[in-house]
Amino acid sequence: RKEVEQDPGPFNVPEGATVAFNCTYSNSASQSFFWYRQDCRKEPKLLMSVYSSGNEDGRFTAQLNRASQYISLLIRDSKLSDSATYLCVVNTYGNKLVFGAGTILRVKS
Amino acid sequence: GAVVSQHPSWVICKSGTSVKIECRSLDFQATTMFWYRQFPKQSLMLMATSNEGSKATYEQGVEKDKFLINHASLTLSTLTVTSAHPEDSSFYICSGGQGAADPYEQYFGPGTRLTVT
């Protein structure tokens, strides 16, 4: 079983739609959680950290359920520029990050 | 702030040659640097972690004699792919961390695309 699992997609949505991505992690001792965004042939960029209480940054909302070892990302009012691969990332051992394979989002006009 | 550069951004080499990739933190001191590899349609896989002035710690399955890592200063780490083969063709990305100051935040370089013919 992979340490971090994501639905690879692709999710094809129209502009303005709301889309949700899910992620599960296997190590219950994981301490920190993140969503990164990666554009084609580029490095990953931090989108937001994920906290147990849930957190929001503009159109983006992240949730963490430690009991279920489940992380989610909700994007409201999708823009064309949101098209990218979204990576679920977990800190499991010391300062190491473990990346999921990513979920592809394609927003179409 | 927190900018990391990599050089070269892409390289094509012949099988059997060695390739060196440089990773520099431009505006912060990276006490720890991480090297990742990403094959098409796959996730980033951590290859090794290096702390300035110490030997790198390699992940299971990564050959330390093939992927030589040097972290001689707080702003520079290098990865040398020795005797490269076509299966080493990949996207290599480094990241820098500030260690205890913020143990989980990493700043990624733009990546180096290696093609071995």
Least Cα distance to A49 among A65, A32, A31 occurs for A32
Contact (CB, 8 A) for B108 and A43: yes
Q: B113 in contact with A at a CB cutoff of 8 Å? A: yes
Mind listing the pLDDT tens digit for each residue in A2-34?
899 999 999 999 999 999 999 999 999 888 899
Contact (CB, 8 A) for A18 and A76: yes
Contact (CB, 8 A) for B1 and B105: no
Strands A103-108 and A11-14: parallel
Tell me what the mean pLDDT of segment B36-43 comes to. 91
User: How many residues are listed for chain A in this entry?
Assistant: 109
| CB-CB neighbours of A68 under 10 Å | 8
Task: List % helix, strand, coil for chain A (3-state, nearest 5).
Answer: 5, 55, 40
Least Cα distance to B92 among B7, B2, B3 occurs for B7
pLDDT for position A20: 97
Angle, CA B1 vertex, CA B19 and CA A92 arms, to 5°? 70
Angle, CA B5 vertex, CA B36 and CA B82 arms, to 5°? 50
Angle, CA B85 vertex, CA B82 and CA B89 arms, to 5°? 100
Smallest Cβ–Cβ distance between B108 and the set A44, A95, A102 belongs to A44
* Coil, strand or helix at B101: helix
Averaged confidence pLDDT in chain A:
93
Q: Identify from A96, A98, A103, A104 which residue to disrupt to test chain B contact, counting B C-beta atoms within 10 A and taking the largest count.
A: A96
Is residue B54 very low, low, confident or very high in pLDDT (cuts 50, 70, 90)? Answer: confident
pLDDT for position B60: 93
What region, left, alpha or beta, does residue A82 occupy, with left being phi > 0 and alpha being psi -120 to 50 degrees? alpha
Is residue A104 very low, low, confident or very high in pLDDT (cuts 50, 70, 90)? Answer: very high
Averaged confidence pLDDT in chain B:
91
Within the 25-84 window of chain B, which residues sit less than 8 Å (CB to CB) from chain A?
32, 34, 36, 41-46, 49
Mind listing the pLDDT tens digit for each residue in B84-114?
999 999 999 999 987 655 556 789 999 999 9
Determine whether the interchain pair B43/A96 forms a contact, defined as Cβ–Cβ distance below 8 Å.
no
Tell me what the mean pLDDT of segment B58-71 comes to. 94
pLDDT for position B1: 64
Tell me what the mean pLDDT of segment A74-85 comes to. 98
Tell me what the mean pLDDT of segment A76-85 comes to. 98
